[in-house]
Structure 1
Amino acid sequence: MRTAPVLPGSNGTHLVEAGVDWDVVRVSRHLGLQALDRLDPGSLVVAPSRPDPALHFFVVAGSTYDWHVAQTSALRRAAFVLIPPADRLHPPGPYWLVPPGADGAINLTDLDVLRDALNELLSALPDTRGSR
């Protein structure tokens, strides 16, 4: 098993290449928080970047190649993810909403359950296309 390249960041963070040990599904913070009620997430990072804060759900490496869910994006090979220290559970900067396991390993979210939860939430949103 190949381990992803890790580059040091600031304040204890690390840049880690996605698509090696895991892929990431990036979801807007608002939609991601709603999805939490519908699934049992693995490790989960809050990326407080402005103007679009997001949640990063970690899923099996290579599983997002056919990922097509509105208002989300898949991060895989050649994308780097900013990983906070395992004990950072609050801002400032990126932090864990659901931290890694006691051994520091990132726990994965079931991709199919995540997709179903997001699609269910998105289908309940009002359709504003064409309205003015």
Structure 2
Amino acid sequence: MIKHYQKIAVAIDFSKQSMKALDRAILVAKDNSASLQLINVIDTKSFGSVAAYDPDYAEQQKEEHVTKMDGLKNEVIAAGVPVVEVIVKEGSAKEVLTELTGIELLICGATGVSNIEKMLIGSVAEQIVQNATCDVQIIR
């Protein structure tokens, strides 16, 4: 039996893979008449040590990401998904994406913008598959 999803989230890091995930999320949301959350996580853990951390840089990044995400929201609405929410958070993508509540399906790209992190720490997608409390769809 195929599950009917009401609330779907898609992880966006602006990589090619996450844009493919967004395309798939639009299709799935339309097929299910579901709402769609566009989620972007600004990885503040990659900013370096606390001494070198510049809060102005984080705020600038957040403003830029919110602007980009609002543009994507408008594209998603134009594509036929009427209920779209944008969420931009700071922290670890692995933690934020596996702690989402109220989501029935999380869609994300197989790889993101950080191949170095994938080699050193393990991929975000792998962590999501192992730890998410909802269904997960990984897009190549």
- Assess same fold via TM > 0.5: no
Q: Which has the higher helix share?
A: 2
Instruction: Give the TM-score category using the shorter length.
Output: under 0.3
Compute the TM-score of the two structures, normalised by the length of structure 2: 0.24
